[in-house]
Amino acid sequence: MTEDKKNQTAEPGHEDINVLMLRRREELDQLAKLGINSYPYEYERNAFSKELIAQFKDDEPQRTVSIAGRIMSLRRMGKASFCHIQDSEGRIQVYLRRDDIGTSYDAFKLMDIGDIIGVKGFVFRTKMGEVSVHASELQLLSKSLRPLPIAKEKTDEQGNKKVYDPFSDKELRYRQRYVDLVVNQDVRQVFIKRSKVISTIRKFLDNLGYLEVETPVLQPIYGGASARPFMTHHNTLDMKLYMRIADELYLKRLIVGGYDGVYEISKDFRNEGMDKTHNPEFTMMELYVAYHDYRWMMNLVEELVSTIAIALNGVPVATLGSQEINFTPPWKRMTMFDAIQEYTGKNLRNKNEAELRAVAKELHIEVDPKIGPGGIIDEIFGAKVEPFLIQPTFITDYPLEMSPLAKKHRTEQGLVERFEAIVNGKELCNAFSELNDPLDQRARFEEQMKLRARGDEEAQVLDEDFLRALEYGMPPTAGLGIGIDRLTMLLTNQESIRDVIFFPQMKPE
């Protein structure tokens, strides 16, 4: 195969993918005949692309470096060639000459876009002004047998850059996230920011003296939220177990045990629908702090989220689509009933189930006959209010039926001390003044069991061991749950939860 022909076929799209893969297998064999191990065990590097480019100065002594990365572009010119390699921090150009690397240049002819190489050489600036590495040694570190879907860029006569054949198919990107991360630099940055969200939360809570803990993922009784669980079977104990839907009840047991503040950053699992904000496996941070209430927790949430935004973006502001979201405290606060009345003109206070169903019908909202009054109010709020709350807003004081684990409101009958933070039309977090009266908690669980009997599969289950823990006494406690995935979506301008989860759940291919 001629050099020109090989360059033309270095990327998918010019030939059938199977032909390209066959050619790469042939190159692998040819490399072996040259005595080259295409998959060595290690490589020592001492520099990265980003800092080499940022720190280079023309008037400084020549610097010899060892770098490694994946070939992302190739330009061959007989006895000399250029390529760009990509490492974890960015890309840098490499200049290779036969006179400098000897027989390794023959091996380089058998290398492709996607191959991982190690290069030793000195840093210089080309005549075109690009900081590059002039190679004195070249080593193949991993031969790529499958071509990458590299996008092509062209600049038109007006100087506008156009991208052709990008790796943009959403489903394929989710299924092959490893390829997505290689070819789409912005995607890599999203997940770096996600990691920073979690580390910032951990640092913030650790600095307040709260203890990070771990609680069971497999539970004999699921609880702490209204959702359907995934079920499994423990062979040795011959018993049914559930994947946790929330951490709440176990974390509260630890408050009973005497800790002042505990938190857990964990995977939870809910066997329910999937959409842009729901994945069956998701990440939550739950926090419980003794001797505080939901009003105190609102202040903490404002400070925590604004701190995270500053850590990621430098300011307590995030851009989401065409909206600029400002997380600077204080956030707006509205009761649920006041918010519904403001957006619909309907006062739902003290209405019975029949009256609430009539209001929902008038507002053209379909309501499941299995749910009770609290569920109807929630449906009305979700349809007519929540989507219009763009800037951070605390919605407070929910109907008692909706919140079986929250304390009754200290002044408003029929309500509980609960808030949700709504941002860009979606729930970001949920928090209570936690119910610590064991008799009231038992009565609430029993009401939930009645809803289950009516067919509400997401109503909560009575947990006798949790009630026993409360009977020993739990101090006044504020509790919080924040969805890490949704928070990351907000702070990185992503439309779908799948864009902030490395490997979202999908049907098999």
Q: Does 108 reside within a domain?
A: yes
Residue 67: CATH number of its domain: 2.40.50.140
User: What DSSP line would sit under 185-252, residue for residue?
Assistant: HHHHHHHHHHHHHHHHHHHHHHHTTPEE----SEESS--SSSSPPPEEEETTTTEEEEE-S-SHHHHH
Query: Is the same domain home to 317 and 415?
Result: yes
User: What DSSP line would sit under 296-310, residue for residue?
Assistant: HHHHHHHHHHHHHHH
Query: Is the same domain home to 179 and 208?
Result: no
Task: Say which DSSP state 474 is in.
Answer: -
Query: Is the same domain home to 163 and 84?
Result: no
Confidence of residue 157 (pLDDT cuts 50, 70, 90): low
pLDDT of residue 162 exceeding 80, the answer is no
Average of per-residue pLDDT across 505-509? 90
For the chain, what is the domain count?
Answer: 3
User: What DSSP line would sit under 23-83, residue for residue?
Assistant: HHHHHHHHHHHTT--SS-S-------HHHHHHH--TTSPP-EEEEEEEEEEEEEETTEEEE
Confidence of residue 424 (pLDDT cuts 50, 70, 90): very high
Q: Does 419 reside within a domain?
A: yes
Confidence of residue 478 (pLDDT cuts 50, 70, 90): very high
Query: Is the same domain home to 224 and 170?
Result: no
Give the structural domain span for 160: 152-183
Query: Is the same domain home to 60 and 111?
Result: yes
* pLDDT at res. 50: 97
Average of per-residue pLDDT across 74-103? 95
Q: Are 477 and 252 in contact (CB under 8 A)?
A: yes
Average of per-residue pLDDT across 236-253? 96
Percent of the chain clearing pLDDT 70 (strictly above)? 94
Give the Cα separation of 461 and 248 in Å (integer): 13
Query: Is the same domain home to 161 and 200?
Result: no
What's this model's pTM, rounded to 2 decimal places?
0.90
Q: Does 373 reside within a domain?
A: no
Q: Does 401 reside within a domain?
A: yes
Q: Does 359 reside within a domain?
A: no
Query: Is the same domain home to 157 and 191?
Result: no
Query: Is the same domain home to 25 and 51?
Result: yes
Average of per-residue pLDDT across 208-236? 95
Query: Is the same domain home to 253 and 288?
Result: yes
Average of per-residue pLDDT across 326-337? 97
Q: Does residue 196 or residue 372 have the better pLDDT?
A: 196
Q: What is the pLDDT of residues 26-66, one digit of tens each?
A: 999 999 999 999 999 999 999 999 999 999 999 999 999 99
Residue 205: CATH number of its domain: 3.30.930.10
Q: Are 143 and 23 in contact (CB under 8 A)?
A: no
* pLDDT at res. 152: 65
Query: Is the same domain home to 296 and 326?
Result: yes
Query: Is the same domain home to 177 and 190?
Result: no
Q: Does 504 reside within a domain?
A: no
Q: Does 263 reside within a domain?
A: yes
Query: Is the same domain home to 158 and 212?
Result: no
Q: Does 303 reside within a domain?
A: yes
